[in-house]
Structure 1
Amino acid sequence: MPPTAHHHKHHKHHEHAHEHSHDQAEILDLDAEVLAEHIASIVDWLPVNTAPRRIADLGCGTGAGTFALLARFPEARVTAVDSSPEHLRRLAEKARAAGVADRVRTVQADLDASWPELGAPDLVWASASLHHLTDPERALRRVRDALTPGGLFAVVELAGFPRFLPEDAPEERPGLEERCHAVTEGRHAERMPHRGADWGPRLTAAGFTVEGERTLSVHIEQSRSEAVVRYALNGLRRIREVVADALPADDLAALDRLLDTDGPHSLLRRDDLAVRTERTVWAARRI
């Protein structure tokens, strides 16, 4: 292959990867904005014995957990770990804007490969990140080894991607969203077999004592947050990328009508959107 062609191909791949990372960062930012109260309530629920001073956020994304933890524990410093430089760049920008840059250290690391130096944290937070790992059991053992004795490990997982539309929508193809999710969940099961796992027994096997488990049902009406509409639009765009080759033509056409921001059937014109999902948190202590 001529160098120019190779460079062009590499450049296009890099561009696509950057766009994908940017899109994902947008979703994470919207998730943090829409679910801020729920994330704060999870942090408030954690059974901490004394306020942690050193916290690690594993798979931090753009910082939803990091900033909730900084707000709850004003004396703490957070080591925010993610494999995406784009996510970490956004997180650092937000930390500067919020005046807490001196309390945040960002570390780029692939948790399936080289394990980052975390120091000896009192609290480790992993939200929607463990199921991405090839070998989560190894990660659990590494967290246990890193934590100070008596330290707490908070694992938060979501029950699939949120739903936004009523079950009978859209009018011409009721149940479209569930059919889309059936496709995405089948594909995620192949790539991420640990998604939806019960982390309680795994934490116990790794040497933790599970002190609490809680499931939060989330239902946020569109009227409560203008960001719900943007979250739905970005979320369903991402889903379309995954399901386009598997949906019946009529379903794909209906989905495209929802995503056409200028069209009469656009999500932007609906007043019945909501964010519906569940999050489960496990609190486990290193003895």
Structure 2
Amino acid sequence: MNPHHTGDLDRDALGARLERQAELHLPSLVEAAEWLRGMLCAGRGADSLVGRVLDVGSGPGVGSCLLAQYFPRAEVVAVDQDAGLLERALARAGKQGVDDRVVAQRAELPGDFEELGSAELIWTSHAVHHLGDQQAALDALAARLRPGGVLAVAERGLPPRFLPRDIGIGRPGLQARLDAAAEDRFTSMRAALPGCARTVEDWPAMLARAGLVPTGTRTFLTDLPAPLDLPAREHLHAHLMWLRDRIGDRLDEEDRTTLECLVDGDACTGILWRPDAFYLSATTVHTARACARR
């Protein structure tokens, strides 16, 4: 699995970008963690029911540390293929005082699924789509669940919106064209994955085929109105730089020129200075439970 593949991008810059992005979504992650805790830990003394949590595709560990706070008796395992991101996850755990329960495990998926061990909760955010056979990935994750455990899969949702339709430069509707170009790139990326298998991305149905009982789907909004604070602007600047480098060749000349204006750190039309920039995104989480043994 390589959910963070970026070619020659500096690894420290990648880690900072991913951590900043996750922190931007922290309120919605908190809502998701509260939902999962209610699903798994209802009743007095129920904290002890969750002894191990897997965060598969953890990146810099923002989710791992949050899960450690919401499941205070659990060992939380940050799982990623990138050693640098795992180091960042452990450093974050130390700063947040949960380093006694957050551990790192480097894994190359799908080959290392069996090395993950079992858990009462498996959380995976935007990682399954980086594996060629998504159904096989869910099957493997389901097999790691302990009886009564929950698999929570955050996938797709809605791409972030952050610009008005008409931004005063270039042709109106740039955001929609950026989304379309990014979707084309995503389709090409999936087609090039080893063992790529097309499937209807009906996640509850896929979880059911993995032998689990679907227990609900919820969508969590990140809604930051204009004017944005500096961390959000810095994230959008990095995001637009990433789009320029990854999908610039899929845009026409006018849109490429507009994109250059948006990433210009000194221009008043740039994303770092625009008063009309906002941030609205939706993260959808699908859950399913392993049947408890009788």
Matched, 1:177 2:175: yes
Match of 1:274 in 2: 278
Matched, 1:230 2:222: no
Q: Is the Cα contact below 8 Å between 2:113 and 2:141 reproduced in 1? A: no
Match of 1:44 in 2: 34
Matched, 1:217 2:221: yes
- Structure 2: how far apart are the matches of 1:19 and 1:164? 24
Match of 2:136 in 1: 138
Q: CA deviation at 1:132?
A: 0.9
- Structure 1: how far apart are the matches of 2:85 and 2:201? 25
Runs (5+) with no aligned partner, structure 2? 1-5, 192-197
Match of 2:162 in 1: 164
Note the aligned Cα RMSD (angstroms).
Answer: 2.1
Q: Which structure has more helix as a fraction of its residues?
A: 1
Q: Is the Cα contact below 8 Å between 2:65 and 2:92 reproduced in 1? A: no
Q: 3-state DSSP class of the match of 2:272?
A: helix
User: Which string of whole-angstrom CA distances, capped at 9 and with x for unpartnered residues, describes residues 40-59 of structure 1?
Assistant: 00111121144322100000
What is the correspondence of 1:37-186 to structure 2 with a 5 Å cutoff? 37-46=27-36, 47-49=39-41, 50-51=46-47, 52-115=50-113, 117-186=115-184
Letter in 2 for 1:29: E
Letter in 2 for 1:244: G
Match of 2:14 in 1: 24
- Structure 2: how far apart are the matches of 1:257 and 1:207? 50
Letter in 2 for 1:37: P
- Structure 2: how far apart are the matches of 1:68 and 1:282? 18
Q: Is the Cα contact below 8 Å between 2:28 and 2:221 reproduced in 1? A: no
Compared with structure 1, are the counterparts of its residues 232 and 17 closer, same or farther at alpha carbon in structure 2 (3 Å cutoff)?
Answer: same
Compared with structure 1, are the counterparts of its residues 112 and 65 closer, same or farther at alpha carbon in structure 2 (3 Å cutoff)?
Answer: same
**What is the count of residue pairs matched by the alignment?**
272
User: Which string of whole-angstrom CA distances, capped at 9 and with x for unpartnered residues, describes residues 69-90 of structure 1?
Assistant: 1121122211111111221121
Q: CA deviation at 1:64?
A: 2.3
Compared with structure 1, are the counterparts of its residues 55 and 207 closer, same or farther at alpha carbon in structure 2 (3 Å cutoff)?
Answer: same
Q: Is the Cα contact below 8 Å between 1:131 and 1:195 reproduced in 2? A: no
TM-score relative to the length of structure 2:
0.85
- Structure 2: how far apart are the matches of 1:58 and 1:206? 17
Q: 3-state DSSP class of the match of 1:244?
A: helix
Letter in 2 for 1:64: V
The percent identity for this pair of structures is: 32
- Structure 1: how far apart are the matches of 2:22 and 2:199? 20
Match of 2:195 in 1: none
Q: Is the Cα contact below 8 Å between 2:156 and 2:284 reproduced in 1? A: yes
Greater Cα offset, 161-170 or 71-80: 161-170
Q: Is the Cα contact below 8 Å between 2:58 and 2:80 reproduced in 1? A: yes
Match of 1:13 in 2: none
User: Which string of whole-angstrom CA distances, capped at 9 and with x for unpartnered residues, describes residues 13-44 of structure 1?
Assistant: xxx84525444323321122111110000111
Match of 1:192 in 2: 190
Q: Is the Cα contact below 8 Å between 1:63 and 1:91 reproduced in 2? A: yes
